[in-house]
């Protein structure tokens, strides 16, 4: 396979360095432009934090792609779609566009992905134990729907330092592991590796570490929308494209499960209460943990660990040739457990506060 050859390693190192240098360099221009997140309302950080993480990641990613000796045409819809989401998010971060306008931009990027890029979900695997489920003419609308869910799942996860970026990093590691185990081609592995290193460079400034009480930069809507689209594109490409890895599609679902699970349960809950599914609240998993007394660092660590476990289940089940229907059935109790926790969030907070006090 030759994944870690000289050229991809140079590109990955370059992506890391460019992103790591751009994050502090973009801080002053962001302050002058007003591309910052000011405290107030539901935002409890101190100071005006630059919303330039997404721009730094995209620049480092795009620059490193040009260093690869591969046919980049197959990844054109990925880069253009990421640029569309980045631009949409920057405009939103500056002037706050409506939810409807953002949704239209997301739909446009998803349509670009399935039409121009021809990156579509054609098969769901043998989820019922009879034969593989082929989507046929439903492939395009189903893929668009999945892309929209993934974009908004990561966008809504961006609620505490390091969470959305950390979830992206864990998901990319899962996809990279699938590529290694499935002997994917060098081009897609290089693209995955480059995006991994850019996200890692961003996390150096976004995670809370000893001696730093809050992030130095945020993803902003620009970064979370862009990374949500990139995760959706890469997940579909590595499991469904002509260069696909022979992985169970349901295993990919396990890798991306946690943010998707969180947003789907909240969508269902809001609709059942007669509210817009896109309305804001503080009932996400990270909000529950934070209100239970856990600090932001512990909250992020716990959620990333859970996400890694979910991804490990999907990959292990694929490698051990578990029945696809069994892995699919395993998703159902997890969904209902999360939904019950969501509608009884106050009870969960009470239980978790007791556990937190007992452990402290």
3-state secondary structure the chain: CCCCCHHHHHHHHHHHHHHHHHHHHCHHHHHHHCCEECCECCECCCCCEECCHHHHHHHHHHHHHCCCCCCHHHHHHHHHHHHHHHHHHHHHHHHCCCHHHHHHHHHHHHHHHHHCCCCCCCEEECCCCCCCEECHHHHHHHHHHHHHHHHHHHHHHCCCCCHHHHHHHHHHHHHHHHHHHCCCCHHHHHHHHHHHHHHHHHHHHHCCECCECCCCCCCHHHHHHHHHHHHHHHHHHHHHCCCCCCCCHHHHHHHCHHHHHHHHHHHHHHHHCCCCCCCCCCCCHHHHHHHCCCCHHHHHHHHHHHHHHHHHHHHHHHHCCCCHHHHHHHHHHHHHHHHHHHHCHHHHHHHHHHHHHHHC
Q: Using the CB atoms, write b or e for 240-276: b if 16+ within 10 Å.
A: bbeebbebbbbbbbbbbbbbbbbbbbbbebbeeeeee
Residue 50's DSSP bridge partners are 36
Residue for token pair 């994050």:
23
Q: Give backbone dihedrals phi and psi of 116, rounded to 5 degrees, phi first.
A: -65, -50
Residue-level pLDDT at 1 = 43
Domain coordinates of the chain in residue numbers?
6-359
Could you tell me the two tokens for 90? 């920057």
**159 and 284 in contact (C-beta within 8 Å)?**
yes
Distances (CA, A) of 133 to 232, 324, 337: 20, 11, 26
Q: What is the spatial distance between Cα 307 and Cα 171, in angstroms, rounded to a whole number? A: 8
Residue-level pLDDT at 298 = 79
Q: What is the spatial distance between Cα 151 and Cα 195, in angstroms, rounded to a whole number? A: 16
pLDDT, mean of each 10-residue run, the chain (360 residues): 74 97 95 83 66 97 94 94 97 89 96 96 93 95 97 87 93 96 89 97 89 85 96 96 89 95 79 66 64 75 93 97 96 84 64 63
pTM value? 0.92
Q: How far is CA 148 from the centre of its chain?
A: 12
**42 and 209 in contact (C-beta within 8 Å)?**
no
Nearest to 307 by CA among 355, 358, 360, 262: 262
Residue 40's DSSP bridge partners are 43
**What CA dihedral angle connects 62, 64, 69 and 71, to 10 degrees?**
-20
Q: Within 10 A of 118 (CB to CB), how many other CB atoms are there?
A: 12
**182 and 252 in contact (C-beta within 8 Å)?**
no
Q: Give backbone dihedrals phi and psi of 183, rounded to 5 degrees, phi first.
A: 55, 55
Residue 66's DSSP bridge partners are none
Could you tell me the two tokens for 13? 């190192």
Residue-level pLDDT at 328 = 96
């Amino acid at each position: 396979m030759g994944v870690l050859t000289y050229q991809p390693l140079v590109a990955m190192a370059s992506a890391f360095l460019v992103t790591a240098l751009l994050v502090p360099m973009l801080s002053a221009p962001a302050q002058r432009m007003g591309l910052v997140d000011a405290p107030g309302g539901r935002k409890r950080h101190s100071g005006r934090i630059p919303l330039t993480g997404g721009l730094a990641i995209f620049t480092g990613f795009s620059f490193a792609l040009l260093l690869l000796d591969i046919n980049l045409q197959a990844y054109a819809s990925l880069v253009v779609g990421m640029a569309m989401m980045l631009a949409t998010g920057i405009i939103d971060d500056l002037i706050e566009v409506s939810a409807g306008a953002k949704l239209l931009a997301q739909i446009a990027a998803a349509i670009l992905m399935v039409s121009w890029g021809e990156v579509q979900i054609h098969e769901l695997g043998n989820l019922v134990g009879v034969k593989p489920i082929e989507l046929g003419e439903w492939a395009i609308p189903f893929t668009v729907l999945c892309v929209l869910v993934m974009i908004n799942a990561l966008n809504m996860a961006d609620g505490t330092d390091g969470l959305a970026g950390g979830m992206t990093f864990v998901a990319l590691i899962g996809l990279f592991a699938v590529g290694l185990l499935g002997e994917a081609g060098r081009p897609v592995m290089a693209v995955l590796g480059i995006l991994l290193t850019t996200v890692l460079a961003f996390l150096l400034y976004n995670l809370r570490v000893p001696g730093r009480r809050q992030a130095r930069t945020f993803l902003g809507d620009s970064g979370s929308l862009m990374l949500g689209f990139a995760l959706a594109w890469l997940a579909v490409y590595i499991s469904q494209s002509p260069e696909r890895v022979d992985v169970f599609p349901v295993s990919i679902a396990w890798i991306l499960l946690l943010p998707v699970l969180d947003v789907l349960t909240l969508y269902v809950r809001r609709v059942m209460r007669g509210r817009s599914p896109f309305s804001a609240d503080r009932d996400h998993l990270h909000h529950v943990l934070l209100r239970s007394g856990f600090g932001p660092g512990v909250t992020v660590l716990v959620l990333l660990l859970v996400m890694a476990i979910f991804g490990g289940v999907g990959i292990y089940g694929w490698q051990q040739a578990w029945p696809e229907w069994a892995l699919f059935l395993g998703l159902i109790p997890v969904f209902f457990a999360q939904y019950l926790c969501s509608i009884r969030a106050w009870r969960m907070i009470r239980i978790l506060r007791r556990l937190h006090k007992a452990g402290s």
